[in-house]
Structure 1
Amino acid sequence: MRAGLWNRIRDNVWPRMGMRRYGSYLRHRVMRLSASPHAIAAGVASGAAVSMFPLIGLHFLLGFVLAFATRGNMIAAAIGTAWGNPVTFPFFFAAAYAVGDWMTGGGGISRYEGVKLEATGAQLSQGLFAEGFGAIWPTFKTMMIGGLPMAILVFAVFYVLVRTVVTRVRALRQARLARRRPAASRSVQSSTN
């Protein structure tokens, strides 16, 4: 049965299974990857870091490129891009704009820029690129500038966090398997006697 357009849009914005279960699913997918802890951490961090940029539609590609450059896992990079989704993008882009505005010495939106934004809003209602890319370039540029330090910070945080978790989970799994092995070998020996 084919899902309607509305159902597909809803599923992309808010998964049917709920956000908590979806996050748990992604965590389990990451833990089951057979790559090294560095590759998994670099992949997830790459995907999460590129989500800070206002380049919707290019996040998978950029995540793969960054994961390749850092020797990260491509599947982990794809999973890491889930950090950027329609729920989180407004917060990321607003923060990227604020950071970029601060970095370029801007003082927020001036009265002149406010009037220009209102005019741009009227132009957008007539067509997104009625005035060309030049109408949105200043905002886009500010968001790209602000997105860079945010992406570096997100990469570092995700790398440390994911590598620590993957290393600990694998150590716990190895310890659990080591405890089972002696019990399994004793049961095999007793059945042969």
Structure 2
Amino acid sequence: MLFRRRKKASWPDRLREFFWPRKGFTRPARYLAKRILRLSASPHAVAAGVAAGIFSAFTPLLGFHVILALALAYLTAGNLLAAALATTVANPLTIPLIAIATFRLGEVVLGIHSAEAVTAGELFHMLEHLELSELWHPVLKPMLFGASILGAAAAFLAYGATLLALRSFKARRHARLMQRAGLAPAVLSRGDTTP
């Protein structure tokens, strides 16, 4: 096989690799960022797609994040692939934090005072075992209100950051391509296209 190890990894090595990857935890995030930066759509379309994906990742609609992100990206003329990629913000490490944050903010906004603090485990237990009619008022309503506020704020920040990053990335890429082609940056600034 092309990518098989020469020496098979032992159980302790595989266990360590599972909990602490050799390439680190930031590698997937860097890959995702580069993948989004290299999309060929306009900066607005990519940024709108990322914003749609991040907004949908904050909603409690687990399993429907990509569908919601694609719908929002379509409505805002965003890039669909960027929207789908941005939904990875909601992953097994971040979903408990997002759920508790949206739930707490929703309680504050709606003025609901719970008798005792609900942990992430209890919140997911309620989501798993209660009927929709029993879930709406104590859990889903606060989470949706909190998600709309936190998701909108995160989407706004993601749109701005992605737009700035894309413009900078495309400008550097264009300058590098012009330098390879033998065109000096001073010639480009005058609007002259001849070398």
Judge same fold: TM > 0.5, yes or no.
yes
- Deviation digits for residues 31-87 of structure 1, max 9, x if unmatched? 111100000001111101111111110000000001011100000001110111110
For residues 134 and 181 of structure 1, the distance between their equivalents in structure 2, rounded to whole angstroms, comes to 65
Number of the residue aligned with 1:163: 163
Distance in 2 of aligned mates of 1:31 and 1:175: 16
Distance 1:148 1:135, change over 3 A: same
Give the drift of 1:103. Answer: 0.5
Residues 1:67 and 1:178: Cα distance change in structure 2 (over 3 Å): same
What residue identity is the alignment partner of 1:161?
A: A
Code of the aligned partner of 1:135:
E
Q: Which residue of 2 aligns with 1:187?
A: none
Runs of 4+ in 1 over 2 A off after TM superposition: 13-19, 131-137
1:53 is aligned to 2:59: yes
Query: What amino acid maps onto 2:36 in structure 1?
Result: V
Contact 1:46 1:66 in 2 (8 A): yes
Structure 1 position 136 matched with structure 2 position 135: yes
In the alignment, structure 2 segments of 5+ residues that lack a partner are 1-17, 184-195
Structure 1 SS opposite 2:182: helix
The alignment status of 1:102 with 2:104, answered yes or no, reads: no
Equivalent residue, structure 2, for 1:42: 48
Q: In the alignment, does 2:86 pair up with 1:80?
A: yes
Cα pair 1:43 1:67 within 8 Å, conserved = yes
In structure 2, distance between residues paired with 1:66 and 1:76: 12
Q: TM-score, normalised by structure 2?
A: 0.74
CA shift for structure 1 position 140: 1.3
Shift of 1:178: 1.3
SS in 2 for 1:136: helix
- More relative contact order, 1 or 2 (CA 8 Å, 6+ apart): 1
**Mapped contact 1:15–1:22 kept (Cα < 8 A):** no
Summarize the Cα distance change of 1:14–1:84 in structure 2 as closer, same or farther, 3 Å threshold. farther
Asked whether the 8 Å contact 1:50–1:62 carries over to 2, the reply is: yes
Aligned AA for 1:177? L
Which whole-Å CA distance do the structure 2 matches of 1:148 and 1:77 have between them?
17
Calculate the TM-score normalised by the size of structure 1: 0.75
Distance 1:146 1:160 in 2: 21
Aligned positions, number:
163
Instruction: Tell me how far apart the structure 1 counterparts of residues 85 and 92 of structure 2 sit (CA, whole Å).
Output: 15
Task: Tell me if the contact between 1:46 and 1:67 (Cα under 8 Å) persists in the aligned partners.
Answer: yes
Aligned partner (choices 5, 24, 35) of residue 30 of structure 2: 24
Q: How does 1:164-179 map to 2 (within 5 A)?
A: 164-179=164-179
One-letter identity of the residue aligned with 2:131 = G
Distance 1:44 1:14 in 2: 28
